[in-house]
A and B are shown apart, each in its own frame.
Chain A
């Protein structure tokens, strides 16, 4: 089945630790995106990538880092510099700029 996967679904970390969230897609999409969602709020764009080895900051990139070494993978690292990392993280992909986004199931990160 084609789709976009995120793992794990729930993740717990101690404060001060970096953590990497996985996002993989087998849809052959060029563009990939990371969003953050806080309770009762909309989605906020963290980073996005239009092609391999290239990515741009979104609206709330501070404290996060990404890489795009392969077309199908776009991992997000939440660093210790992110002051309030507990949130629901959503990954998405899009074939090109004229198409809709497909979203993964999300990872709920809790920092203790």
Chain B
């Protein structure tokens, strides 16, 4: 199974870009990279996903390296409300369909 590695925590100043890295060196060709975030005691929220190309939506940008072994989630102008745990996930095919395995994630602290 493809696994991901993320730093346990990061700090970011309010208004600055937050760049959250993720390593997924064993990713296979048909597996997508997904990002979710979880604010304390709530259910995780989907942010963005991609396969090969860089992606952008109203929340964030996702940059995937050409060899697909790592990616970076970019929050362009972090606010205090972006303080959360961010999960980088690679989709895994399991019996009966795709499982989704969450690691420990990166705890992002946005500071005023």
Contact = CB atoms under 8 A, between A and B. Distances in A.
Q: Of B36, B95, B96, B105, which is in contact with the most chain A CB atoms at under 10 Å from its CB? A: B96
A92 B34 CA distance: 15
Contacts of B29: none
B45 A103 contact: yes
Interface residues of B, number: 23
B96 A42 contact: no
| Chain A interface main SS type | strand
Contacts, number: 57
Given A92-B43, A105-B42, A35 B102 contact: yes
Given A42-B105, A56-B95, A100-B34, A106 B100 contact: no
Interface in A40-95: 41-45, 48-50, 54-56, 58-59, 88, 90, 92
B99 A43 contact: no
A104 B6 CA distance: 25
Given A42-B104, A58-B99, A103-B44, 5 more contacts: A45-B100, A59-B101, A100-B36, A100-B49, A104-B43
17 contacts: A33-B100, A42-B102, A42-B105, A44-B102, A45-B100, A45-B102, A48-B99, A50-B96, A58-B99, A59-B101, A88-B41, A97-B97, A100-B36, A101-B46, A104-B43, A105-B42, A106-B42
